[in-house]
């Protein structure tokens, strides 16, 4: 179920963080798994993101295109043909292009090799080999998405006591690939302090699965929910998040965005 909270989904990196956390210099990283590369390429195709095909690095000669099909079995991509035939022929002669685009507001770069002219669904198109590496440019703030209050995502933190067995469970208020905000019951006292490092935390994303992560508490405050309740809010950042976990978060964000769009369409 999508709530009004989900309907206003995308915002800048979670608020309330310290200046150090808010200006994290997150390194670019390469995706090398074929399955993960195809996941991002399919996302680009579904978003109908514009792709710039550069004839050479630092070249001003660019073909504007889009992704028409992803074929993992044959390791092929189908790209829309450019409107400038001279540039199209130059690209085909060169055979290799640099592609830049974006997915969920993150810049993505990859190389197109073995570029060829094909006919796809009755029109001209380019075919190219699925890249072996896809680079995600993350030198920017992440974007967070508000999580629904019904069927919420949950974070389970292991007991803070050395001999304790009781873990702490919090619902998520929002999440990004950089961190998340947790909320507790109205009036609850929070024992977590800013700067605390928590290992082996389990984050459960409904219908998609769970992952384990190390988090650092950035800030502790309060938030007012849509129903008027004032709840403790705990801002956290992920520490050395794995690519598999990052991909799971991105799938969850995409899922909530799709639900929000569907909710918005049905409400009109």
76 or 55: which leads in pLDDT:
76
List C-alpha distances in Å: 96 to 19, 57, 116, 170, 248.
42, 11, 10, 49, 31
CB 223 within 8 A of CB 233: yes
**Measured between alpha carbons, how far is 236 from 198 in angstroms, rounded to an integer?**
10
**4-24+144-266: CATH number:** 2.40.10.220
Q: What is the 3-state secondary structure (H, E, C) of the chain?
A: CCCHHHHCCEEECCCCCCHHHHCCCCCCEEECCHHHHHHHHHHHHHHCCCEEEECCCCCCCEEEECEEEEECCCCEEEEECCCCHHHHHHHHHHCCEEEEEEECCEEEEEEEEEEEEEEECCEEEEEEECCCCEEEECCCCCEEEECCCCCCCEEEECCCCCCCCCCEEEEEEEECCCEEEEECCCCCCCCCCCCCEEEEEEEEECCCEEEEEEEEEEEEEEEECCCCCEEEEEEEEEECCCHHHHHHHHHHHHHHHHHHHHHHHHCC
- Per-residue pLDDT at 100: 87
Q: Where are the domains of the chain?
A: 4-24+144-266, 29-137
Cα separation, 245 vs 243, in Å, equals 5
Domain 4-24+144-266 identical in fold to domain 29-137: no
Report the candidate in 194, 195, 204 with the shortest Cα–Cα distance to residue 157.
204
> What is the Cα gyration radius of the chain?
22
Look at residue 20 in the predicted model and tell me its pLDDT. 30
Averaged pLDDT for residues 243-263: 85
The token pair at 171 is 């619902």
- What is the C-alpha separation between 258 and 248, in angstroms, rounded? 15
pLDDT, average across residues 40-59? 80
Q: What is the pLDDT of residue 203?
A: 96
Residue 21 predicted with pLDDT over 70: no
- 81 vs 86: CA distance, rounded Å: 12
pLDDT of residue 248: 93
Mean pLDDT (the chain, rounded): 80
* pLDDT tops 80 at residue 54: yes
What's the mean pLDDT in 48-76?
Answer: 83
CATH number of 29-137: 2.30.110.10
The percent of residues in the chain predicted with pLDDT above 90, rounded, is 34
- Report pLDDT digits (tens) over 136-191: 775 445 667 888 888 899 999 987 765 556 788 999 999 988 899 999 888 888 88
pLDDT higher than 80, residue 221: yes
Q: Mind listing the pLDDT tens digit for each residue in 238-252?
A: 998 898 999 899 889
Q: Taking residues 78-106, report their average pLDDT.
A: 87
Whole-number pLDDT of residue 125: 95
Compute the average pLDDT of residues 125-146.
Answer: 79
For residue range 68-88, list pLDDT tens digits in order. Answer: 999 999 999 999 999 889 999
Q: What percent of the chain has pLDDT over 70?
A: 80
Placement of tokens 């950089």 in the chain? 178
- For the cut 50, the answer to whether the pLDDT of residue 99 exceeds it is yes
Phi, psi of 27 (to 5 degrees): -70, 150
């Amino acid at each position: 179920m999508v709530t009004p909270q989900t309907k206003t989904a995308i915002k800048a990196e979670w608020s309330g963080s310290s200046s150090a956390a808010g200006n994290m210099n997150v390194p670019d990283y390469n995706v090398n798994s074929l399955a993960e590369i195809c996941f991002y390429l399919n996302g680009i195709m579904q978003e109908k993101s514009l792709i710039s095909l550069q004839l050479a690095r630092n070249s001003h000669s660019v073909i504007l295109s889009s992704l028409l099909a992803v074929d993992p079995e044959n390791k092929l991509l189908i790209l829309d043909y450019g409107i400038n035939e001279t540039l199209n022929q130059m690209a085909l002669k060169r055979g290799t292009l640099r592609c830049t685009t974006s997915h969920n507001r993150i810049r993505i770069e990859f190389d197109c090799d073995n570029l060829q002219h094909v006919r796809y669904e009755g029109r001209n198109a380019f075919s190219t080999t699925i890249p072996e590496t896809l680079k995600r440019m993350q030198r920017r703030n992440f974007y967070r998405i508000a999580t629904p209050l019904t069927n919420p995502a949950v974070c389970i933190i292991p007991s803070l006591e050395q001999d304790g067995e009781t873990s702490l469970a919090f619902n998520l208020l929002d999440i990004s690939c950089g961190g998340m905000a947790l909320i507790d019951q109205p009036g609850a006292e929070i024992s977590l302090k800013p700067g605390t490092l928590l290992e082996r935390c389990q984050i459960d994303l409904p219908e998609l699965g769970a992952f384990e992560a190390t988090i650092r508490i950035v800030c502790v405050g309060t938030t007012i929910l849509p129903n008027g309740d004032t709840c403790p809010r705990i801002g956290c950042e992920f520490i050395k998040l794995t690519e598999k976990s990052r991909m799971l978060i991105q799938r969850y964000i995409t899922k909530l965005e799709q639900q929000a769009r569907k909710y918005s369409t049905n409400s009109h």
